[in-house]
Amino acid sequence: MKIFITGATGYLGNLLAMRLANDGNQVHALVRNPQKTKNLDHPNIHLFKGDVNDLDSIENAMDGCEQVFHLAAFARMWAKPADIFYKVNVDGTKNVLQAAMEKNISKLVYTSSTAVFGTSINQPLSEDDPRTIGFNNDYDLSKCMAEKLVQEYAANGLNALIVNPSRVYGPGNESFSNPFTRLLKAVMKGKPVLIPKCPDVIANYTYVEDVIEGHMLAMKFGKAGERYILGGENISYRQFVNVVREAMPVKNVIAIPKFLLKVAGVLQLIRFFVTKKPPVFTPSTIDRYYANTAFSCRKAMEQLHYHVTPFNQAMTNTIHHLKQKNYEPV
Stretch that binds other proteins, among 151-159, 209-217, 221-229, 311-319 (CB under 8 A): 151-159
Nearer to other proteins, 12 or 141 (CB): 141
Q: What is the distance between the alpha carbons of residues 4 and 129, in angstroms, rounded to a whole number? A: 31
Q: Is 48 in the site for other proteins (CB under 8 A)?
A: no
Q: Is 129 in the site for other proteins (CB under 8 A)?
A: yes
Pick from 69, 153, 237, 311: which binds other proteins (CB under 8 A)?
153
Cα first-last separation, the chain: 46
Q: What is the distance between the alpha carbons of residues 210 and 205, in angstroms, rounded to a whole number? A: 11
Reduce the DSSP state of residue 289 to 3 states and report it: helix
Q: How many residues bind other proteins (CB under 8 A)?
A: 30
Q: Is 276 in the site for other proteins (CB under 8 A)?
A: no
Residue 295 DSSP class: B
Degrees (nearest 5) of the Cα angle 148, 149, 154? 100
What are the E-state strand segments in 118-192?
A: 160-165, 167-169
- The one-letter amino acid code at 131 reads R
Pick from 56, 102, 246, 328: which binds other proteins (CB under 8 A)?
102
In the complex, what is the shortest distance from the CB of residue 186 to other proteins, in angstroms, rounded to a whole number?
33
Q: Is 59 in the site for other proteins (CB under 8 A)?
A: no
Rounded-to-10 torsion of CA 192, 196, 199, 205: -90
Stretch that binds other proteins, among 128-136, 177-185, 218-226, 246-254 (CB under 8 A): 128-136
Contact set with other proteins (CB under 8 A): 55, 82, 86, 90-91, 94, 98, 101-102, 121-123, 128-130, 132-136, 138, 141, 144-145, 148-149, 152-153, 156-157
